[in-house]
Structure 1
Amino acid sequence: MALPTASVQLYSLADAFFADMGGSLDKLAAIGLTRVEAFAFVDRAPELRAALDASGLLAPTGHAPLLSDELWTPKGVVPSPAPEKVFEAAAVAGIRTVIDPFVAPERWLTREGADDIAARLNAVADVAAGFGLRVGYHNHAQEFVASFDGVSAYEHVVAQLDERVALELDLFWALTGGQDVPALAARLGDRLLAVHVKDGVVPTENPWAEGGSVGDLDQRPAGTGDVPLTDALRANDAIELAVIEYDQAPGDVFDDIAASLAFLRAEGLVA
């Protein structure tokens, strides 16, 4: 079987990236990465593409809101651009799969809300196809709060998705949502394009449940926390990208990324 390729979600180094895009990408290339996952690329696609080319990196995936008028971020709510604008920018930056990174928790609590999410993903997949692109969805833990007929809202949605819609499973957040992560990764089958390689001490309460709050997270380099990363990555041969991410890096973010990459290589989990 072909092993996944290592990547890194650029949100992990957001402050450094915004301060010095080219220098940050050069540091990632020096660590040994060849792929990155873009974020906040819509208004800077030509600049990002030039910096990627200069660093010898590719961004096959990128995060952008596709299903919400507004997007929650740790620094506040921001308006979402139209999908057509997102896809135009993605094509310029060289992104092939645009992944929606967050749908508000309350929309996952009812069957009607979950059905609407699935319908919107399928509809936006049609729009993306016109640009020669694919869409995907990235989870946190709110997708696992509610269940319908014994099936989590997340898998209820997955069962309705067009085969063109890819999935990116955030392993840390799925475990936070109470999932058997290797088993879930296996059940997602061929549509599991990527996983987020993220480790740390998993919160005892789901912070995305009603009344919860995402505060400080005890996230750590891969292989040093609670997440069964090795078993999850080996559970599904379809995974193409192992995307390192920190919501909150414990130390110097470049050192932390290098440590996670070293773990993936030592375990034989990436090409």
Structure 2
Amino acid sequence: MVKPLGVQLYTVRDLMRADRDDVLRRIAEIGYGSVEPYDPTDDPKGFRQVIDDLGLTVSSTHAYALLTEEPDAVLDAVATIGTDLVIIPGGIPEEEFTTRDGIARTADRLNGLAGHAARHGMRLGYHNHWWEIEPRIDGVHALEVLAGMLAPEVFLEVDTYWASVGGANVPDLLGRLGPRVTALHVKDGPGVKGEPHTAVGQGAIPVPDILAAAPGAWRIVELDDCATDIVDALAESHAYLTRLEHA
């Protein structure tokens, strides 16, 4: 089955607060087939009804709440919105990725949460930013060290933009991580911290090479901030990625 192109809904967080249902409708009209929520505990039943009506699926969900709230309640909400892939997208202190001991503590924490997820028929994943890439332990990116300590069922959602900003050759990184990578955040821009992102295909990131390095992973578009109209940028990203797929 071909995985439908998705959108991380953090991209449209401001618009979602104003009119969630309209934003989801506009995403579906662009042609996206899936979405990735950033807070599954926010009206999970109502959210599920809307996406079902629009014919959207949920590729996966971020869930910061797993780090602070009772896991079973969070995972019940994840089940309601309709995915079995639940991702920790940060929330672990950056300094934990600067030493092997810190990475080991992080792995233990994620492996423990993965056990909770497994009891709900789900898999746990971790999403990187630049701070898991910049530090190197004996010459190896911290994210790769973490991957070596995670239980086999824990997957990675590689944010390809922040991996590049952190200094990785992203296609090579994806090749080394191999099947551990279940999803990609696809984004584009100047490739430096503090600058707004662009529609995918309009920046400095070698998107075709990156996608070729992880052909089976979910492609989820995310633009943390954008200097242009965000819905237009999502439409332009969809058009570019669709052309790539059919090239």
Is the contact made by 2:132 and 2:143 (CA closer than 8 Å) also made in structure 1? yes
Equivalent in the alignment of 2:231: 254
- Which ranges of structure 1 fall in alignment gaps of 5 or more residues? 69-79, 208-214
1:199-219 per-residue CA deviation (whole Å, 9 max, x = no partner) reads 00011xxx5xxxxxxx4x231
Equivalent in the alignment of 1:72: none
SS at match of 1:5: coil
1:122 pairs, out of 111, 123, 131, with: 111
Equivalent in the alignment of 1:180: 169
Is the contact made by 1:189 and 1:238 (CA closer than 8 Å) also made in structure 2? no
Is the contact made by 2:86 and 2:125 (CA closer than 8 Å) also made in structure 1? yes
Is the contact made by 2:61 and 2:83 (CA closer than 8 Å) also made in structure 1? yes
Q: Quick one: distance in 2 between partners of 1:52 and 1:237?
A: 26
Amino acid at match of 2:79: A
Aligned length: 246
Q: Report the CA distance shift for 1:3/1:51 in structure 2 as closer, same or farther (over 3 A).
A: closer
Q: Quick one: distance in 2 between partners of 1:59 and 1:249?
A: 24
Is the contact made by 1:199 and 1:227 (CA closer than 8 Å) also made in structure 2? yes
2:180 pairs, out of 167, 188, 191, with: 191
Alignment of 1:1-271 (within 5 A): 4-65=3-64, 68=67, 80-102=68-90, 103-203=92-192, 215=194, 217-239=195-217, 241-268=218-245
TM-score of the aligned structures, taking structure 1 as reference length: 0.86
Cα displacement (A) at 1:150: 1.6
Amino acid at match of 1:16: L
More helix, by proportion? 2
Q: Quick one: distance in 2 between partners of 1:267 and 1:48?
A: 31
Amino acid at match of 2:13: A
RMSD: 1.7
Q: Quick one: distance in 2 between partners of 1:37 and 1:150?
A: 33
Amino acid at match of 1:153: A
SS at match of 2:226: coil
Is the contact made by 2:6 and 2:59 (CA closer than 8 Å) also made in structure 1? no
Cα displacement (A) at 1:136: 0.4
Cα displacement (A) at 1:10: 0.4
SS at match of 1:243: strand
Cα displacement (A) at 1:66: 6.1
Cα displacement (A) at 1:4: 4.6
Q: Percent identity?
A: 37
SS at match of 2:211: helix
Is the contact made by 1:21 and 1:51 (CA closer than 8 Å) also made in structure 2? no
Q: Report the CA distance shift for 1:115/1:8 in structure 2 as closer, same or farther (over 3 A).
A: same
